[in-house]
């Protein structure tokens, strides 16, 4: 999700005293999947820590080769090339990711939809757009979108896009999935704790080398240089979707770069959404969906999902939350 201007501020690198075992935190920042990844691991030595991080990077690159719609050799690209022509047999891993994506589309009433990649780019956020698109242009831009048009055959393990010109893309779920897979690999290698932060789609396990919990800070929407509340992220994940940086203004009205795939129009009324759950993949997808659904519908949905919570900032910079979130606002900490 390239649009993130993070509501979530990761508290890493504070209080890095060694335990009796002399564990340290080793961290690297890399450019992967077109975004910035920050991988932190708890390790007995710096050398071992960097070896662990290299293994995580290899896993993320493997995921990118699988789901990239820019790589002509990827399974995703093959699906897109055969839209409206024929089903494509894919690996079980990609099939299951698409299957899970379709289920998220169903529970969000299409607010999340990997076929959004079929949308014509009629909204420009590079400073070149000088007028609103027409209603007919907007309608035409979304004609090929619809998770119902993604046909899965579990017996043959094939994927078929019904309409010619359809495309799928994993921009709103792929980095979360990659973070989850890198985490699983590191846990299997015996890494005691760490964080994989994929441009704001982050997942944690274990504790810091001091034994303390990994924490994220919710930014005060009125005083953005202060933390509104710290929240623990224990064996869990968080992702944030926001419209801080990419938007356009017509006649004094602000239009977000986050487009509702059902209508073709930018989403209004929400500034940022942070989702907390066990898996970064789900956080990634639901952050986008709730942003599009809006405050009331989005929070209502999250309150019905076990193990999922949300913190939402509306267009008036007011903070809203799901039932399971408890804020500790006794301290306002400078970022």
Summarize the confidence of residues 80-87 as an average pLDDT: 98
What is the β-pairing status of strands 270-277 and 237-242?
antiparallel
pLDDT given at position 327 = 79
CATH architecture of 8-65+175-334: Roll (3.10)
CA torsion, ordered 297, 303, 309, 311, to nearest 10 deg: 40
* CB contact set of 208 (below 8 Å; sequence gap of 6+): 15, 16, 25, 42, 193, 214
Residue-wise pLDDT tens digits, 249-279: 888 888 888 999 999 999 988 999 999 999 9
Residue 320 contacts by C-beta under 8 Å, 6 or more apart in sequence?
295, 299, 311, 312, 313, 314
Q: CA torsion, points 160, 115, 60, 235, in degrees to nearest 10?
A: -110
CATH topology for 75-161? T-fold (1.10.3980)
Query: What tens digit of pLDDT does each residue of 99-116 get?
Result: 999 999 999 999 999 999
So what's the pLDDT on residue 7?
Answer: 47
Strand, coil or helix: 43: strand
Task: Supply 230's token pair.
Answer: 């710290």
pLDDT of 21 reads 56
* Rounded Cα–Cα distance for residues 113 and 145 (Å): 8
pLDDT at position 255: 84
Query: What are the sequence ranges of the domains in the chain?
Result: 8-65+175-334, 75-161
**Mean of per-residue pLDDT scores for the chain:** 89
Share of residues in the chain with pLDDT > 70 (%): 90
CB neighbourhood size of 248 (10 A): 19
Q: Under DSSP, is residue 239 helix (H, G, I), strand (E, B) or coil? A: strand
Residue 8 pLDDT greater than 90, yes or no: no
pLDDT attached to residue 245:
66
Q: What is the CA radius of gyration of the chain?
A: 20
- 295-332 pLDDT, tens digit each: 999 999 999 999 999 999 998 989 999 999 987 654 44
What pLDDT shows up at residue 331? 44
Question: pTM value?
Answer: 0.89
Q: What pLDDT sits at residue 332?
A: 41
């Amino acid at each position: 999700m390239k649009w993130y201007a993070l509501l979530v501020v990761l508290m890493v690198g504070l209080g890095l005293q060694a335990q009796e075992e002399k564990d340290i935190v080793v961290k690297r920042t890399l450019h992967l999947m077109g975004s910035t990844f920050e991988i932190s691991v708890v390790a007995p030595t710096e050398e071992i820590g960097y070896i662990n991080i290299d293994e995580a990077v290899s896993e993320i690159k493997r995921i990118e080769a699988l789901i990239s719609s820019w790589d002509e050799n990827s399974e995703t690209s093959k699906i897109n090339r055969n839209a409206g022509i024929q089903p494509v047999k894919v690996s079980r891993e990609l099939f299951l990711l698409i299957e899970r994506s379709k289920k998220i589309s169903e529970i969000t009433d299409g607010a999340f939809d990997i076929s959004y990649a079929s949308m014509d780019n009629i909204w420009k956020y590079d400073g070149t757009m000088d007028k609103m698109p027409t209603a007919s242009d907007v309608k035409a831009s979304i004609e090929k979108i619809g998770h119902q048009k993604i046909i899965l055959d579990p017996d043959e393990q094939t994927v078929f896009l019904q309409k010619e010109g359809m495309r799928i893309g994993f921009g709103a779920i792929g980095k979360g999935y990659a973070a989850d897979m890198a985490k699983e690999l590191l846990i299997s290698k015996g890494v005691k704790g760490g964080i994989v932060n994929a441009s704001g789609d982050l997942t944690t396990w274990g504790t810091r080398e001091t034994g303390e919990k990994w924490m994220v800070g919710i930014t005060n929407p009125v005083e953005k240089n202060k933390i509104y509340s710290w929240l623990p992220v224990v064996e869990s994940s968080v992702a944030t979707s926001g419209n801080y940086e990419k938007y356009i203004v017509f006649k004094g009205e602000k239009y977000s770069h986050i487009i509702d795939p059902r209508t073709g129009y930018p989403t209004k009324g929400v500034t940022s959404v942070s989702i907390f759950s066990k898996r970064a993949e789900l956080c990634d997808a639901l952050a986008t969906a709730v942003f599009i659904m809006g405050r009331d519908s989005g929070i209502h949905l999250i309150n019905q999902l076990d193990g999922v919570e949300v913190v939402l900032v509306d267009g008036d910079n007011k903070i809203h939350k799901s039932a399971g979130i408890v804020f500790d606002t006794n301290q306002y900490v400078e970022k």
